[in-house]
Structures are given as structure tokens and as C-alpha cells.
Structure 1
Amino acid sequence: MLAVAAQTLAVTAPVFAMLFLGVALKRVRWIDGAFIDTASSLVFRGTMPTLLFLGVIKADLDAAMQPGLLTYYVLATVASFFLAWGWAVWRVPFVDRGVYTQGAFRGNNGIVGLALATSMYGDYGLSLGSVLAALVILCYNALSAVVLAIYSPGAKTGMRAIARSIVSNPMIIGVLLAVPFAYWKIALPQWLLTSAEYFAQMTLPLALICIGGTLSLASLQCSSGTAIGSSLMKMVWLPLLSTTGAWLLGFRDADLAILFLYFASPTAAASFVMARAVGANHELAAAIIVITTLAAVLTTNFGLLLLQWGGWV
């Protein structure tokens, strides 16, 4: 388990490094609120959709096409969304329900989950993990767009307005544009792919620096209760329920472990970008990302230890 702990730390440590860099840059006034607004908009409208587009067209759809596992993963993700939303309606202030719900169900699968799955299971982990990540991107962005539209200040909440917020979401557009290229294996010019990769590689550093620049001790104290509640939902309760369901349905070995790693991934940086884009409580979103990323070092290793102790992986 020390090896797994080292792998988890190797994935999460750079995330924290960029977060703290954002804090430091804001403190020495190398970045300010205007930069954070502009950079967050660039990530939301440009670099992250490009990153998702590239992820879909590069996914090996044939190598890991398992209808039963993929179907369960999508259903578990949707169920997690509604469980988190239901709890938020009961226990969370109205204005923070959208951010709470998104933070509780939206995992950082493309970075943390995929890296750990590949590290533990090699090519199989990479293939299955890529397909899982590509499949769930639409779920994450569509469901997040719905719940954020409902609870964002001043947002129109009619069915037409919510549908418009979904179909106009740049991240959803990026995925949908990539589907025909991936399905029919349409080759793009190498110079175009290289340029797109340069552009997409700005996504995580920019998003994390913006999150760090937004963090402050006052905002963390103000949102601590709600942030901790959402983080517990994301890192403990929902992974426990989803992984138990997978075990009951007979998933074992690498499949069960990869499902767990994806269910137990910390909250994605995209949740901050989307919250800021719609005028929601992005400081709460930032706090949830920090708490869940820190917690992942403990919860991921404990969960894998439990699965290994039971002889299921």
C-alpha cells in the first residue's frame, strides 16, 4: 500500500503545487481579479473544450468497450448526482445548492482517476479509464449545467433556458464535435493536433492558478461547513455506495478497482470554472476542490486496502 500511497501523492502533489502558486501569485500581486476572470473564461470557453475534444478522439473505444460496466458507471454517476442534489435541497442554503451538488458528484477522472488506473493496470487501465472518462464527460457537464442554472443568482430556470445552457456549454460542444472523429477514426493533420495540444495543456495550470488566486482564509472559513459536507459526500459516502453496488453486481479485480478509483476521484477543477462562468459561489467550489484533493491521499488508499483485504481486487 505504500506504493499506492506514493502513486496517489505523485498525482495530487502537482495539483497542490499549482494551487499554492496561485495563492502566492495573488499575494505578490502578479495576478489580480481581472486576470482570474479572463483566465477562467479562457479555460471555460477554449482550453478545456479543446482538452476534452482531444481526449475523446484519442480514446481507444474498441479496447475497452464493456457495455455492462460502462452502463453501470453512467447510472451510478446519475444516481450520485440526484442523491447529492436531494441532500442539498434538505440541508444546504438555496444559493449554494448547485455548487454543493456539482462538487459532490463531479470527479477529476481525466487527471487523478486515469493516472491511478494507468499506474496500477497499465494499458488496460489506460484504455478502460479513457473510455470511462470520455463517456461520463457528457453526464458531468449536462447535469452540472442543469443544477447550476437552477440555483445561480439571477439565472432563468425555465426548461428552455436550462436546455439552452446545456447545448451552449462549450465543454459539451467540445465532446460532441469529437464523437464523429472518434467513431469514424477521421485523422486530423498532425500540425493541427500539435497546436491543439499546446492550447489544451494550459487548461489545468490556468484553472488551478485561478482557484488558488481565489482562495482566502476568510472565504474558506465562511464556506467551511458546506465545503466539508460536499467533500464528505464526494470522498466517502458516494464512493462507498457506488463501489458497493458494483461489488454486488459481480464486478471484481481490475474492473472493480478502476470503478472505485473513478468514483473516489477528488472534485474536478472544471467545477470551479463552471461555477465562476455562471456567477455561482466559486469560492465554495474552490474550497471543495482543495479539501477533496487533500482527502484523496487518505480515502483512495484506505478504499484500495479494504478491497484488497476482502480479496476483491
Structure 2
Amino acid sequence: MIADALGPVFLLILIGALLGRLNFPGADVWPGIERLTYYLAFPALLVNRLALADFSAAGLGQLALVIAAALLSLSALIALLHRWLASNGPALTSVFQGGIRFNTYIGLAAASALYGDSGLVWAAMAVGIMIPLINVLCILAFALAGSNASLSARHVGRQLATNPLILACLLGLALNATGLGLPGWSAPTLALIGATALPLGLLAVGVALTPHSLSGDVGAIVKASLLKFVALPLLMLGFGALFALPTPALQVLLLLAALPTASSAFILARQLGGDTRLMANIITAQSLFGFVALPFWLWLGSVWIAPL
């Protein structure tokens, strides 16, 4: 089941990598596709799913509690080990992003393929909690350790207030909470737009892969990947069991925790004073490691979580 569900996801990434190598339809085209996906298609998907989701089921509060506990614990661990993890502040911010961020495109596609509509709803709710919290933690990390380590509260607030994914989550939740939902043609329109987000996002992930650039930075890449593929999934599993999170929600959280870091981490590193070369190498390496790590954690989750 895992192979059948994830096979098309990974195949789309490989197709994207092939398109990138063939330079088709052109290197100047893909940045525009990424912006279209990031600012329109992906927000449309989140608004559509969250506005129409059924939040009456128990577990939403537990979901938020588990996510917050795991992400804050990982952040504290990175702070304690910062001298071992990186030789300087900018490099530490890249390791931090590599340990805590996740590729939402792959996550939502995999949740839909593995767990159907209910899994996609749980994933959308988790994304709605994780994206704001992760962005706050990453921006604070840059404020403390980046080469521009003088970010003001106003700058942090502006970064959060203009993030299209955060805005989409807030809008979807507001439409749901007020009972407005998506009246008229808005639901099918957003559904059509959102349907393009996952395939385009996965192709863009493949295009961005640059395995030939992985010279040097091996130690930092390995450390960031240990945080991402070992520490964070274990924390999600541990806190999920501790707070008795419903099984479907815990399976989705494990999926999201075991994902490679997001390509948007490079943009943040470039804007806020991180180590951009290291960040690009971490993104590429983890995208490749994810082909092994994600199926392993999903298999382990199916063995350990399902019987609970």
C-alpha cells in the first residue's frame, strides 16, 4: 500500500528532475510556476480543505498540543547542541531549518494518496498549525544567529503577516468557524485551482534537485538530516502516544515529521542572513534521503501505531 501510494509522488519528483536536466520548458519558466503554486494554487487548496473540514471530531486540541510540544522540544535540543551542530550562526540557521521544516507539497500529496480525504483533512489541519509555528521559530532563529541578527519584532510580524500559507490557513479556518464555508461557485473553483498545487509542487521539487552540488558540508548535512529524519519523527511519536492522539492524526503527523525540508527554506536563508550554500545542499540531500526515510517511518507507523 505504501509503495503504491508513494510511487506516483516520487515519480513526479523524478519527472521534474528529468525536466530540469533537459531544461524544459526553460530555466526561466520554473520560478514563475513556483510562485504561482506558492501564492495561488497551494493557498487555494488549504482554504478549500479547511473551510469545508469537519472540526467536530475530537482530537484537534491534542493535535495542536503534540505539534507544539514536538517542535519546541526539537528547537530546545538544537539550542543545547548548537556548538556541535554548526561552526557559526548562519550555518546553524540552515541546520535549524533543515531539522524543523517540511515539504508541504510532498506531505499533502502523500497524505491524500495514503489516507484518502480524511487523511488530507487531518494533514490540512496539521499544516495550519505547523506552518505558523515553524515560521515563528525559524525567524527567531535568524534573529538570534543569522548574519543579519538584528531582526525587529516588526520585521518578524511582517514576515508572518504576509506569508500566503499562513493567510490561507487563517482564512480557511475563519470561513469554517463562521459557518460561511465556500458558497456558490467558490468551492469548485478553489478545488480546481488547488488540484494543480500538488503535481506542480512535486515537479518543482524535482527540478530544484542538484545532486552534483553536494561537495563539502557533509557533516552539517548529516546532522541536519539526523534531526529531521530521526529526532522529529521520534518526538512526534512520543508526544502523540503521551497525549493519546487519535490514530489517523498520529499517522499523518508521523508522515509530515519524516518529510525532507522545504525548498522555501532557501528563500528565507537568502533573505534573512543564513548560509545559502549549505541550505541548498541540505534541501537537495534530504530530498534524496526522503526516498528511503519516508517509506521506513510509514512502515514503522503502520506496524506500531495502527494496533494502538
Q: RMSD of the alignment, in Å?
A: 3.3
2: CA distance, partners of 1:250 / 1:161: 35
Note if contact 2:111-2:252 (Cα within 8 Å) is conserved in structure 1.
no
1: CA distance, partners of 2:208 / 2:249: 36
- Is it true that 1:258 corresponds to 2:251 in the alignment? yes
Name whichever of 214-223 and 164-173 sits farther off. Answer: 214-223
- Is it true that 1:236 corresponds to 2:214 in the alignment? no
Q: CA deviation at 1:168?
A: 1.4
Which amino acid in structure 2 is aligned with residue 301 of structure 1? W
Q: CA deviation at 1:244?
A: 2.6
Q: CA deviation at 1:282?
A: 3.7
Q: CA deviation at 1:44?
A: 2.5
How do 1:1-313 and structure 2 match up within 5 A? 6-7=1-2, 9-84=3-78, 86-87=80-81, 90-93=84-87, 94-107=89-102, 108=104, 109-113=107-111, 115-116=113-114, 118=115, 128-147=122-141, 157-247=151-241, 249=242, 251=244, 254=247, 257-258=250-251, 261-262=254-255, 264-267=257-260, 271-276=262-267, 279=270, 280=276, 281-306=279-304, 313=308
User: Structure 2: where are the runs of 5+ without partners?
Assistant: 271-275
1: CA distance, partners of 2:12 / 2:38: 18
Which amino acid in structure 2 is aligned with residue 159 of structure 1? A
Which amino acid in structure 2 is aligned with residue 78 of structure 1? L
Q: CA deviation at 1:285?
A: 1.9
Name whichever of 40-49 and 78-87 sits farther off. Answer: 78-87
SS in 2 for 1:47: helix
Q: CA deviation at 1:283?
A: 4.6
Change (3 A) 1:211 1:131: closer
User: Structure 1: where are the runs of 5+ without partners?
Assistant: 1-5
TM-score (ref. length: structure 1): 0.78
Identical residues among aligned pairs (%): 21
Note if contact 1:58-1:182 (Cα within 8 Å) is conserved in structure 2.
yes
Change (3 A) 1:47 1:296: same
Number of corresponding residues:
297
Note if contact 1:113-1:265 (Cα within 8 Å) is conserved in structure 2.
no
The aligned counterpart of 2:273 is none
TM-score (ref. length: structure 2): 0.79
